[in-house]
Amino acid sequence: MDSLNSLLDGFGTALTPINLLWAATGVLLGTAIGVLPGIGPAMAVALLLPVTYGLEPTGAFIMFAGIYYGAMFGGSTTSILLNTPGESAAVVAAIEGNPMAKAGRGAQALAAAAIGHFAGGMIGTILLVALAPTVASLAVDIAPDYFAIMVLAFIAVTSVLGSSRIRGAASLLIGLTIGLVGLDQMTGQQRLTFGSLQLADGIDVVIVAVGLFAIGEALWVAAHLRRTAAEPIPVGRPWLGRADLRRTWKSWLRGPVIGFPFGAIPAGGAEIPTFLSYVTEKRLSKHKEQFGKGAIEGVAGPESAASASAAGTLVSMLTLGLPTTPSPPSCWPPSSSTASSRDRSSSSANPTWCGA
C-alpha cells in the first residue's frame, strides 16, 4: 500500500507543530477574510498571497490550503447568517441555512456546515492521495504531449468561465496576450515589450492574480455597491442536538461522493456538485417538507460536497498542472512559482500553465 504510506507520510508532515501552526493561521485568516462581505475564497487567497512569501514551499502550500478551506467556510457563514453567498458554491448553503438561522437555528446550520467541510476535506484528501499516483503515472506517460494537455487546459478554462463560450475564449486570449509579453523562452526574442526593460521580464502571475481577483473585484463591487445594510440574525442555542446528528451524518458522508469526482474532472467546479448534493439530500430525506424552510441535511451535504470538490480539483492540479476551477487552485501556481523563483532549477521541471 504505497499510497497509504504516502498518506500517512503526508499527515506526518502536516502534523508537525510548525505546519499545524501554519494551517491554523491559514484557516483563521481565511475564515476571517472569507466572512467579510464581498470576499470569496479566490479573493481571500489573492489578498493573502504575499503572507506566504516568507515560508518554505511545504508550509506555504499548507497555509494556502488552510486559507482556502477557511475562506470557503467563511463564505458559508455569511450565506447562512446574512443570506448573501459570497461565491456560487455557497448559494446552496443560503437556501437551507438562512431559513434555519431565521428560525433561531443558525448555530446548528453553522455547525453542520463546519463539520461538513471537515468531513468533505478529510474524505476528499484521502481520495486525492489514493488517486494521485495513478493520475500522475498517466501524466508521466503523456509527458511529451504537452501540447494536448495545453489544449485540454484551454478548453477547460473556457468552459469554467461561465455560460458563454465566446466570452470565455475572449478572456483566455487576453490572458495569452499577457503571457506573450516578455522574452521568448526558446530564442530570447522580445515580444510585446515595446523596448521596455521591465516588460522583458514578462508580467508576473501574482500581479495578474491580484489585479484580477483583488483590484478588479474591488472596482466591480464599488460599481454595484449595495447601499442598504444587511440584516444580521441572532445565532441561538449553540449545540448540535442528537436528532440533528442523526439526520446529518449520512449527508456528510454522501457529499464527498458527489463533490470529489466533479472537482477532479476539468470544468467540474464546485457549483454543480453542491446543487446535485442538495437535490440528492432532498430526495433521500425523510423530512422533504422541510426543504426550503430550513432542512439541516440541505446544509450538511452540499457543504461537504464543496470541500471535497476542492480536494478533487487538486488531483488534476497537482498531477497534471491543470487548474480546473477559476478560483484558488489556479492561484496556487503563483505560490509554487514564487517557490521556484527562489529555486530556479525546479522552475523548468514544473511548468505552470497559468503563465503559459
Using the contact rule CB under 8 A, the part of the chain among 2-10, 37-45, 116-124, 126-134 near another protein is: 37-45
Residue 230 or residue 284: which is nearer to another protein going by CB? 230
> What residues have CB less than 8 Å from 278, skipping those under 6 apart?
92, 95, 96, 298, 301, 302
Examine residue 221 and tell whether it contacts another protein (CB under 8 A).
yes
Examine residue 191 and tell whether it contacts another protein (CB under 8 A).
yes
Candidates 1, 197, 223, 349: give the one binding another protein (CB under 8 A): 223
Examine residue 91 and tell whether it contacts another protein (CB under 8 A).
yes
> Which residue bears the cell 486559507?
67
Examine residue 129 and tell whether it contacts another protein (CB under 8 A).
no
Residue 6 or residue 88: which is nearer to another protein going by CB? 88
Examine residue 76 and tell whether it contacts another protein (CB under 8 A).
no
Phi and psi torsions of 289, nearest 5°: -65, -20
* Alpha carbon distance 222, 207 (integer Å): 21
Calculate the CA 258 to chain-centre distance. Answer: 16
Examine residue 327 and tell whether it contacts another protein (CB under 8 A).
yes
Residue 197 amino acid letter: L
> What residues have CB less than 8 Å from 44, skipping those under 6 apart?
29, 30, 33, 34, 67, 68, 70, 71, 74
Rg for the chain (alpha carbons), in Å?
A: 21
Examine residue 51 and tell whether it contacts another protein (CB under 8 A).
yes
Calculate the CA 20 to chain-centre distance. Answer: 20
Residue 187 or residue 345: which is nearer to another protein going by CB? 187
Examine residue 67 and tell whether it contacts another protein (CB under 8 A).
no
Residues at the interface with another protein (CB under 8 A): 37-38, 40, 42, 50-51, 53-54, 78, 82, 84-88, 91, 160-164, 166-167, 169-170, 173-174, 176-177, 180, 184, 186-189, 191-192, 213, 215, 218-227, 230, 271, 326-327
